[in-house]
Structure 1
Amino acid sequence: MEIAVTDMRRVQFSIGKHYSCEVLCDVVDMDVCHLILGRPWKFDVGAMYDGRANTYSLEWKGRRLRLLPHSSQGDKTNQVPAVLHFVTCNALLNLYQEHSLLFALVLRESTPMSESRMKQPPIEHLLDQIRDVLADPAPTALPPLRSLQHQIDLIPGSTLPNLPHHRLSPMEHQALQQLVDELLKNNLIQPSLSPCAVPALLFPKKDGSWRLCMDSRAINKITVKYRFLVPRVEELLEK
């Protein structure tokens, strides 16, 4: 539908209590009495539109004004003016130049999660999943027997190593005895009558306690090395 524009008038209008202006408008037949401000007015005043907040900001007499949307509740004498607005980054950069106090609340979207997970850091959620591995105190028994048991196959005809222990101070001897007694108490080790013997080493930890390590280099030299074909990378990627 085409509407012929045959008349133009200068209209003086105001928005709120602080902004007043005069604009040259085309006169057309309308069912309602509204003043439509088009692109010429936006260009003249340098108006910037914020689509999310539905607001306009413009320069007027050396000041930066923001035109807020009309309230759907109508005009009320006791209505409290809005004090919180959502603005874009560009609008925020323009607003901070005004001589007024400005607070900005930066929001970001987060992935949905349960209420219990939101109350704890991500590392706590990960630790909850492997809580049985990080049991405190440590388990006092070995895991149950599996269908595949571990065994060490030695090269036939090899001589079993029987090495003396390393030189230890009286304090290290006492620490080693306490570690062995604790392992025996928790059924994690058991006495052995094997002629094979490898020395034990003690290394200090950062907290002042000792770490027990076994020097198994001699037994590793006579252990049968199991070698398997390396799987093809292409097949692994396909699987």
Structure 2
Amino acid sequence: MVASSMVEKLGLPTQDHLTPYQLTWLKKGHLVKVTHKCLVQFSIGNKYTDELWCEVIPMDACHVLLGRPWLYDRRVNHDGFRNTYSLKKKDGLHITVAPLNPMEELSNVPTITKSEFTGLVRDLHDPTVFGLFVLEENETTVDIPVPLRPLVDEFLDVFPEDIPAGLPLMRDIQHCIDFVPGANIPHKPAYRMNPKEFSELHRQVLDLLEKGLIRESMSPCAVPSLLVPKPNGTF
């Protein structure tokens, strides 16, 4: 079976099914009517290529679903321990298909050369190019390429090192939480904190108060504050 969305995007030709039928197991409570079929060419890794007549149906689980007829024709055997599939090709040869290791996956990532990239940009009607920098977690600085430095310097205010002091400007729409009139406020004991966590929480609250990002609450309601540890050891 093949997803109808994939057939439409790839522009694959379809044919009317000789004997249309309905499926009920794809989505509970709904009937899926099979009226078309399509010849789909596919490959598994770089060792196996095949083509198969598939029923065209709307499905979101996957693009192509290889069912019992293909398993029967190719005499497929699955080794659950090694996660491999042994099958027989059309030419009669037997092959075993296994998952790629991480190095093979990286080697299969499509890349282009600098000259190819320059040619693609030159052919664009609107040659606007965005650069993406990928940094490891332990990296704190990055050597920005010379051509991009003027652009980064122009928008330094977009990414400040610290949150600006004060709250944002008042907007046209303000949100509030309305309490039910006459409702009883639950009173429960607060959680105890160890001295280290209490000291850190106290420091963060004072810092936010000084910056004007929070203010002292006059509400009779209160909720406990929780500190969440980060991978680098801070809270």
Q: Which category of TM-score, normalised to the shorter sequence, fits these structures?
A: 0.3 to 0.5
Q: TM-score, normalised by structure 2?
A: 0.36
Q: TM-score, normalised by structure 1?
A: 0.36
